[in-house]
């Protein structure tokens, strides 16, 4: 597949050398999934020149080529806990449907839509920066090699023969491919229970091949009275009995959830048909369009990391087998594979959905314990170097060699900067599912808004490094960390869990800085900015002000949280 520039994208700068085109930019983002898009957008909006490369046909990853545009999110997503840029993405999707809140009406999410709508929303987000010449997007180009000098990446060679040079590089590839090529330390699979005492880890020693299943989703319509049965693929009986193929599934609550195709299940669960419906024909006209991404077609025979070609081919066959079962043994021959659906390959996802990437190996990774609920607290354990927020349960699907899924509750958690900075090379940041976290913890960060938040933090940090002419390893210094946080909150990206002060509020930035420094109400995700402070509130506000270097606030932070935030905002540019 040759490289091409999508939707009018043009190259920022071009040089000729050695017979190959060389692209150069301040920030290079390798990988065009949601993390890569968020990283490129943040760096470009910070005024940096950016090259974004994408191995797939178009950017978007989970919501486009991997065919999961039924967003996995947290309960507060409509009002908080995500950045302004992620909210813009969701608004653009809805605008493409004339403002319909949930175009698919799928009950797994508040926003389900067709992949072409996601591709259009991403193109619209990036378009102003492409048109200005600040951003170059190259698709159909995967990383093939890395040129290193003095412990830094100089350039990344692409499969097209092009190379991309820059000052700071972000790995947003789906499988952490740049980590390997650049010689960065990485892990994959399960660290094993012996490493960190995690309940979700495979018992004992590390199991690097115990990688989570991938899934090739597919789209179907239903035409009652017609027969659209696909041929029975090889291995059908083994998969039917081993997966097994069923509309019943072990639930997060320890009970078996029983579903029926077009009606409520015997235990009250809504129809399977509307689970991941991407197009609601009753609202939008025409037929329903439904995504099938289910335990039945989770492929765990081979690791997508270790055997990507074989795993992708196997996942495709498994999905066709599950469709055949739905049409025959489940009794729905009218299910028709939507072969003409835009953004698919004959109705199937063009690429498997990736649940697990290689992960950056850092001295202190995020573990299951960091994300667990804390008794009496509304949030998970505070991250002292937080640069983003996310929230989703730890959700581990079947792993190669280890069948069965595992689930654990979390509390609203943060993204630590230390999980994004590669120990080596010195100018590399993780920007997607490849952050420095264990398999258990990464299973909570991997979803749509989590990957976006990781990418946005990485892109903002990369832009700061270029502006200050420093390497990412310097970002742990208090002044540099504060500066990165200021950039993030200025763009409406939360770094702490506070729900009642929105990004559009003038007090958002100072409230977020105070909250990230520890000034929160421990039992609530709200700070209630206009209510009088208790003595406990004053104590945490004084401590947070001191951490921010505002010792003038430690005697009297004010009458309310809003007073304290206003004082911080007006004090020497701290906020």
pLDDT tens for each residue of 475-510:
999 999 999 999 999 999 999 999 999 999 999 999
Q: How far apart are CA 181 and CA 143, in angstroms?
A: 8
Residues 183 and 149: their CA atoms lie apart, in Å, by 12
Looking at 252-266, 352-366, 401-415, 497-511, which range is the least confident one? 252-266
The proportion of the chain whose per-residue pLDDT surpasses 70, expressed as a percent, equals: 96
Pairing of the two strands 394-396 and 406-408: antiparallel
In a domain, 198, yes or no: no
Is 493 among the domain residues? no
Q: What per-residue confidence (pLDDT) applies to 18?
A: 34
Per-residue pLDDT tens digits for 535-570:
999 999 999 999 999 988 888 889 999 999 999 998
Q: Give yes or no for a contact between 74 and 495, defined as CB atoms under 8 angstroms apart.
A: no
Total of domains in the chain? 3
List, for residues 438-479, the tens digit of each pLDDT value. 999 999 999 999 999 999 999 999 999 999 999 999 999 999
Helix axes 478-490, 508-516, angle to 10 degrees: 140
* pLDDT value at 77 more than 70: yes
Instruction: List phi, psi (to 5°) of 492.
Output: 80, 25
What would the mean pLDDT of 324-331 be, rounded to a whole number?
98
Reply yes or no: is the peptide bond before residue 492 cis, omega within 30 of 0.
Answer: no
Model pTM score: 0.95
Domain boundary among 337, 372, 387: 337
What is the reported pLDDT for 319? 98
**Quick one: pLDDT at residue 253?**
78
- Residue 137 CB neighbours (<10 A): 30
Q: Is the pLDDT at 20 greater than 50, yes or no?
A: no
Q: Which of 482, 509, 538 is the last residue of a domain?
A: 482
* Judgement on whether residues 315 and 411 belong to the same structural domain of the protein: no
User: 219, 344 in Cβ contact below 8 A?
Assistant: yes
Task: Indicate if the pLDDT at residue 7 is higher than 80.
Answer: no
Same domain? 43 vs 179: yes
Q: In this model, does residue 3 exceed pLDDT 90?
A: no
Same domain, 46 and 124: yes
Same domain flag for 320 and 370: no
User: Coil, strand, or helix at residue 139?
Assistant: strand
Q: What pLDDT was estimated at residue 252?
A: 74
Q: If DSSP codes are grouped into helix, strand and coil, which group holds residue 156?
A: strand
Which of 416, 317, 404 minimizes the C-alpha distance to 360? 416
Mean pLDDT confidence for 45-52: 98
Same domain for 420 and 505?
A: no
Q: Are residues 38 and 184 part of one domain?
A: yes
Query: What is the arithmetic mean of pLDDT over 322-341?
Result: 98
Residue 328 located in a structural domain: yes
In a domain, 465, yes or no: yes
Q: pLDDT band at 21, cuts 50/70/90?
A: confident
Backbone angles phi and psi of 552, in degrees to 5: -70, -15
Segment 184-192 mean pLDDT: 98
CB of 217 closer than 8 Å to CB of 353: yes
Q: For 381-389, what is the mean pLDDT?
A: 98
Q: Per the structure block, which two tokens stand in for 336? A: 């028709």
Using alpha carbons only, what angle is made at residue 44 by residues 515 and 78, rounded to the nearest 5 degrees?
A: 45
- Is 60 exceeded by the pLDDT of residue 78? yes
Question: What are the φ and ψ backbone dihedral angles of 465, each rounded to 5 degrees?
Answer: -60, -40
Q: How many residues does the chain have?
A: 575
Residues 518 and 458 in one domain: no
Task: Name the packing angle between helices 561-569 and 508-516 (round to 10°).
Answer: 100
Give yes or no for a contact between 319 and 313, defined as CB atoms under 8 angstroms apart: no
% of the chain surpassing 90 pLDDT: 92
Which pLDDT score is estimated for 571? 61
Same domain, 147 and 11: yes
In a domain, 347, yes or no: no
Q: Which of 455, 493, 462, 358 is nearest to 59 (CA)?
A: 455
Domain boundary residue among 482, 512, 545?
A: 482
Domain contains 55: yes
pLDDT in tens, 228-286: 999 999 999 999 999 999 999 887 777 899 999 999 999 999 999 999 999 999 999 99
Same domain, 140 and 266: no
* One domain for residues 221 and 308: yes
Q: Domain holding 430: CATH number?
A: 3.50.50.60
Q: Is the per-residue pLDDT at 36 higher than 60?
A: yes
Calculate the alpha carbon distances from 82 to 31, 244, 377, 575 in Å. 22, 36, 20, 20
Does residue 209 sit within a domain?
no
Residue 200 lies in a domain: no
Average pLDDT over residues 386-413: 96
Task: Check residue 382 and give its pLDDT.
Answer: 97
Residues 369 and 318 in one domain: no
- pLDDT at position 556: 87
What is the spatial distance between Cα 109 and Cα 116, in angstroms, rounded to a whole number? 18
CA neighbours closer than 13 Å in the CB half-sphere of residue 482 = 16
Structural domain boundaries enclosing 71: 6-190+356-482
Q: Which DSSP string do the residues of 339-391 spell out, in sequence order?
A: TT-TTSBTTB-SSPBP----EE--SS-B-HHHHS--TT-SSSPPPTTEEEEE-
Alpha-carbon distance 228 to 220, whole Å? 10
**pLDDT value at position 385?**
98
Q: Do 141 and 113 lie in a common domain?
A: yes
């Amino acid at each position: 597949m040759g490289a091409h520039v999508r939707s009018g994208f043009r190259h920022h700068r071009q040089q000729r050398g050695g017979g190959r085109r060389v692209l150069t930019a301040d920030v290079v983002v390798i990988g065009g999934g949601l993390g890569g898009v968020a990283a490129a957008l943040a760096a470009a909006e910070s005024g940096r020149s950016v090259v974004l490369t994408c191995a797939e046909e178009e950017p978007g990853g989970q919501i486009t080529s991997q065919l999961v545009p039924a967003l996995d999110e947290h309960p507060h997503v409509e009002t908080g806990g995500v950045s302004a840029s992620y909210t813009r993405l969701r608004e653009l999707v809805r605008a493409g449907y004339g403002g319909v809140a949930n175009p698919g009406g799928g009950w797994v999410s508040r926003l389900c839509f067709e992949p072409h709508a996601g591709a259009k929303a991403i193109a619209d987000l990036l378009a102003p920066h492409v048109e200005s010449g600040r951003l170059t997007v190259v698709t159909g180009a995967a990383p093939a090699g890395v040129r290193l000098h003095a412990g830094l990446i100089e350039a990344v060679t692409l499969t097209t023969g092009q190379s991309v040079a820059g000052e700071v590089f972000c790995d947003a590839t789906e499988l952490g491919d740049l980590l390997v090529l650049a010689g960065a330390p990485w892990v994959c699979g399960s660290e094993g229970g012996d490493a960190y005492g995690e309940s979700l880890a495979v018992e004992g020693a590390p199991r690097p091949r115990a990688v989570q299943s991938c899934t090739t989703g597919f789209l179907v319509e239903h035409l009652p009275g017609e027969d659209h049965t696909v041929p029975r693929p090889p291995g059908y009986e083994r998969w039917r009995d081993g997966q097994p193929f069923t509309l019943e599934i072990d639930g997060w609550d320890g009970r078996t959830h029983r579903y029926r195709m077009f009606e409520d299940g015997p235990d009250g669960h809504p129809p399977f048909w509307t689970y991941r419906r991407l197009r609601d024909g009753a609202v939008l006209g025409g037929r329903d369009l439904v995504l099938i991404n289910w335990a039945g077609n989770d492929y765990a025979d081979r690791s997508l990391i270790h055997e990507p070609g074989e795993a992708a081919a196997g996942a495709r066959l498994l999905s066709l087998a599950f469709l055949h079962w739905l049409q025959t043994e489940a009794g729905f021959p009218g299910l028709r594979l939507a072969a003409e659906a835009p953004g698919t390959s004959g109705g199937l996802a063009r690429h498997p959905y990736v649940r697990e990437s290689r992960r950056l190996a850092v001295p202190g990774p995020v573990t299951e314990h960091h994300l667990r609920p804390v008794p009496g607290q509304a949030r998970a354990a505070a991250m002292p170097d937080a640069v983003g927020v996310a929230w989703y349960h730890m959700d581990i699907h079947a792993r190669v060699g280890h069948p069965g899924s595992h689930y654990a509750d979390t509390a609203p958690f943060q993204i630590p900067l230390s999980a994004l900075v590669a120990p080596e090379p010195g100018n590399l940041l993780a920007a997607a599912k490849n952050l420095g976290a264990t398999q258990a913890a990464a299973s909570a960060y991997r979803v749509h808004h989590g990957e976006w938040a990781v990418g946005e933090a990485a892109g903002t940090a990369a832009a700061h490094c270029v502006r200050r002419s420093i390497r990412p390893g310097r970002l742990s210094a208090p002044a540099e960390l504060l500066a990165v946080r200021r950039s993030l909150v200025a763009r409406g990206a939360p770094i702490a869990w506070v729900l009642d002060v929105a990004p559009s509020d003038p007090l958002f930035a100072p409230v977020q800085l105070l909250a990230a420094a520890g000034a929160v109400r421990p039992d609530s995700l709200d700070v209630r900015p206009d209510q009088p402070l208790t003595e406990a509130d004053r104590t945490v506000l004084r401590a947070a002000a001191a951490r921010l270097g505002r010792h003038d606030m430690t005697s009297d932070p004010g009458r309310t949280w809003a007073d304290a935030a206003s004082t911080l905002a007006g004090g020497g540019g701290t906020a």
